[in-house]
Amino acid sequence: MSSQDKEAQEDELLALASIYDEDEFKRADSAQGGETRICLELPQNFKIFVRGSPTECLQNSGYEYTICFLPPLVLNFELPPDYPSVSPPVFTLSSKWLSPTQLTALCKHLDNLWEENRGCVVLFAWMQFLKEETLAYLNITSPYELKLCHRENGQSRTSVFPLNAELDGCGAAGAATGQEEILDERAVQDVESLSSLIGEILDFDQAQQKKCFNSKMFLCSICFSEKLGSECMYFMKCRHIYCKSCLKDYFEIQIRDGQVHCLSCPEPKCSSVATPGQVKELVGEELFARYDRLLLQSSLDLMADVVYCPRPCCQTPVMQEPGCTMGICSSCNYAFCTLCKMSYHGVSPCKVTAVHSLEKRMDLRNEYQEADEATKIFLEQRYGKGGIRKALEELESKEWLEKNSRACPHCGIRVQKRDGCNQMICTGCREYFCWLCMGCLSRASPYTHFRDKSSPCFKRLY
C-alpha cells in the first residue's frame, strides 16, 4: 500500500465517521473497511401492498399499509491496498425489501460511479446515491407491492415491485421480462419469507417513528410545558399529545373513582381512548390491576349469559349455558343454581321461581313481615329460607335502585347521580344523556340541549 493510498483511505474513513451517526456508519476493527446502513427518505403517505398468499397469515385478498420508514440498505465494504489509485472497494449490498434483480441494478450503478471517479475516493458518492436516488433509479412509487416469486428450480425468492412498475434500461424490473436473469453475487436479499418481511418492515417503521417522536419537543396541552417526546404520550386515534406526568395524574384519578371507561383524550369533543398498554406504562401495578379488573367486570356485566359465583370469597364470573340453570365455578368448583344461587338441586323445582315475579315477591315480603312465628316457619319450609331471603334482598335492591338511580336510555345500566351538572355519561356504554328528561345527547355537542329554547331542559344544566 502506497502512503498516498493509505492516507486517502484514512481521511475518507474519518470523514465518514464524522458525517454519519454510529447507527449509519460503523468502521471495521480488523481491516480497512466497514458497514453503512442507509435509510431512504420515503414520500409522504407511502404505502406498501401485499396480495393474498398461500401462507396462513395472509389469506385475504390483500393488505395495504402506510409507512414512514423502510429497513435500511446495508453496504459492507473493504478497501484493497491499492484503493483509490487502482482498485475499487470490494463490497456487498443487501436489503430486506429489494429483490436480487433490483440490488443487481444498484451494484452495477455503483460500478459505473467508480469508473467515472477512478483514482478518487468514492464511498461518499455511493452512499449519497443510495440514500437520495434509489427510489427514482428503480422507478419505485407508492403503492409498492411485495410479491413471492418462484424460480424454475423450485426455490422461492421474495421480490418487490411497484404496482405501476415500468421496465427501464438498468434492468431494475427485469424480473418481469421473462428473460434469464444474471444476478450479481454482491447483491444479497436478507429475508426468509414474505410474511416475515412484512413483520420486519412494520416493526422497523414503528421503532423509527418512536425514535423520531422521542427526539422532538412538544407542547403539553394540559400543563402548557414544552417537553421531549420521550416524556410525552399521544393517543393512537387522534394523535393529541400530552406529557406523561399530566396523563399519569389524570389516569390515576379516573381509575380510583372507578371510571375505567373515561380514560379518553382530554381534548374537548375528542373520543380517542387510551390503550391498556398506555395505561399500564403510566400507572402503578396496583392501580393497573384495579383498572383491568373493573374493565373486565363492566364488560361481563353487559353479557346476559354471565353470572357470578355466589360464594362471597370467590365471585368468579361463570358462563351460563343456554336453557341450563346449573353453574359450575371454574375457580372453586362450586356447583350452584343460577336462579336461587344455592347449591345445585338437580331436577327438584327451584323454590325461588315461586316468588320470581315482582308482585309475588312483594306479597311474600308483606306476608312474611306480618306473620307470626308459626307462619314464618311454614313459609320458610314452603319456599326455603334462601328463597325468601333472596326475594326480600332483590326487592329491597330494586326499590333502592328505583329511588336512587335511573336506567341509561341506551343500554339500560343503572346510573346514580352524586353531584355536578345534569349532562350524564353512562359508565357502561359511554352514552351522553340528560338526567332530567333522560334523552340521549349529541356526543359532539352535548350542552346544546340545555341552550335550546325549545327544550324542556332549557337553562337547567345545574
Task: Give the confidence band of 219 by pLDDT, cuts at 50, 70, 90.
Answer: very high
- Mean pLDDT within 326-345: 85
Side chain identity at residue 229, one-letter code: G
Contact 24, 30 (CB under 8 A): no
Contact 347, 361 (CB under 8 A): no
- Mean pLDDT within 375-389: 66
- Tell me which residue has cell 354471565: 306
All domains of the chain, ordered by start, with CATH?
3-203 (3.10.110.10), 217-301 (3.30.40.10), 324-406 (no CATH), 407-462 (no CATH)
Contact 149, 175 (CB under 8 A): yes
User: How many residues appear in the chain?
Assistant: 462
- Mean pLDDT lowest among 31-45, 172-186, 272-286: 172-186
- Mean pLDDT within 280-309: 83
Q: Are strands 187-189 and 90-95 parallel, antiparallel or unpaired?
A: parallel
- Residues 119-132 have pLDDT tens digits of 899 999 999 999 99
Average pLDDT, the chain: 81
Which residue has better confidence, 381 or 319? 319
Which residue has better confidence, 460 or 355? 460
Chain centre distance of CA 46: 20
What is the pLDDT at residue 169?
36
Which cell numbers hold the place of 307?
Answer: 353470572
Q: Give the containing element (helix H, strand E) for 47.
A: strand 46-51
- Residues 355-374 have pLDDT tens digits of 455 556 666 667 777 777 77
**pTM, rounded to two decimals:** 0.57
Strands lying side by side in the sheet with 156-162: 62-67, 46-51, 144-150, 156-162
Which cell numbers hold the place of 216?
Answer: 422532538
Which residue has better confidence, 293 or 138? 138
- 398-432: b or e for each residue (b if 16 or more CB lie within 10 Å)? eeeeeeeeeebbeeebebeeeeeebbbbbbbebbb
What is the pLDDT at residue 363?
67
Give the CA distances from residue 184 to residues 124, 221, 426, in Å, rounded to whole numbers and listed in that order.
Answer: 22, 54, 65
Task: Give the confidence band of 1 by pLDDT, cuts at 50, 70, 90.
Answer: low
Side chain identity at residue 250, one-letter code: Y
CA 55, CA 190: separation in Å to the nearest integer? 19
User: Which among 309, 363, 364 is positioned nearest to 338, based on CA atoms?
Assistant: 309
- Residues 11-23 have pLDDT tens digits of 999 999 999 988 8
Which residue has better confidence, 304 or 201? 201
CA 355, CA 361: separation in Å to the nearest integer? 5
Residues tagged active-site = 421
Whether 157 has a pLDDT exceeding 70, the answer reads no
